[in-house]
Amino acid sequence: MTPTAEPGDRQPEPGLRADAERNRDRILAAARRLYASDGLGVSMACVARAAGVGKATLSRRFASREDLINAVFADRMDAYAAATAEALADPDPWHGFVGYVQAVCAMQAADRGFADVLAMTFPAAKALEERRDEAFHGFLELIARAKASGHLRADFTDQDMVILLMANAGVIAATADAAPGTWRRLVGQMLCAWATPGAELPPIEPAPAPTALYRAMVRLARKG
């Protein structure tokens, strides 16, 4: 005897499932591209337009901006957590700390959207925030080890890194076109400020040309 299917038991047709998956992939690809170039200020409407889907389709796949951000940056957060683990595995605590700071700030420079993610918090994006918390606890251990080595200032706190990430996001947004290496100088100067006398430090990036900074300032004024 064949059981009678209830209306609520009906499964979507394979063609519909495939179409929905294609739409999701297009949305994610468009969001990654737009966030990487323009940061998280890109609207959901812009993402839908770039993906070639309607707003309703976008909302069905991702009910909120946080849901979309969580999906787009899941792999980036994995890399962020991996950078912490790699730094902790370094037998030289100070070298591991310096490498971590450089690696995370380089991730920001490579993707303006991720630069914003690291400078913000998204309580509704549970998976993303859980990964961030995991990396944060590793960073606290990294701080303790670097201080114990005698090369990181005793008054350094994890909030100093948050401040750097916020500042770096702003510098990247302002200078990415006119003076793209400026963020490296910021990071180098901050590492110098955090180090104790005699600590080994990487070379500091030369200052950008005044004309390059002027172009960056003009660009900011036009955007404002």
Return the exposure string of 11-34: e unless at least 16 CB atoms fall within 10 Å of the residue's CB, then b.
eeeeeeeeeeeebbebbbebbbbb
pLDDT, one tens digit per residue, over 43-78 is: 999 999 999 999 999 999 999 999 999 999 999 999
Query: 3-class SS at 157?
Result: coil
The residue segments making up the domain with residue 48 are 15-62
Output the CA–CA distances (angstroms, integers) from residue 223 to 17, 106, 145, 220, in the order listed: 41, 24, 42, 5
Same domain, 49 and 86: no
Same domain, 143 and 210: yes
pLDDT, one tens digit per residue, over 106-142 is: 999 999 999 999 989 998 888 888 988 899 999 999 9
Same domain, 142 and 205: yes
In Å, how far from its chain's centre is CA 116?
6
Point out which residues pair with 152 in neighbouring strands.
Answer: 195
CATH label of the domain that carries residue 19:
1.10.10
pLDDT, one tens digit per residue, over 11-41 is: 544 555 788 889 999 999 999 999 999 999 9
What confidence tier does 176 reach under pLDDT thresholds 50, 70, 90?
confident
Is there a contact between 127 and 75 (Cβ–Cβ < 8 Å)? Answer: no
pLDDT for 2: 47
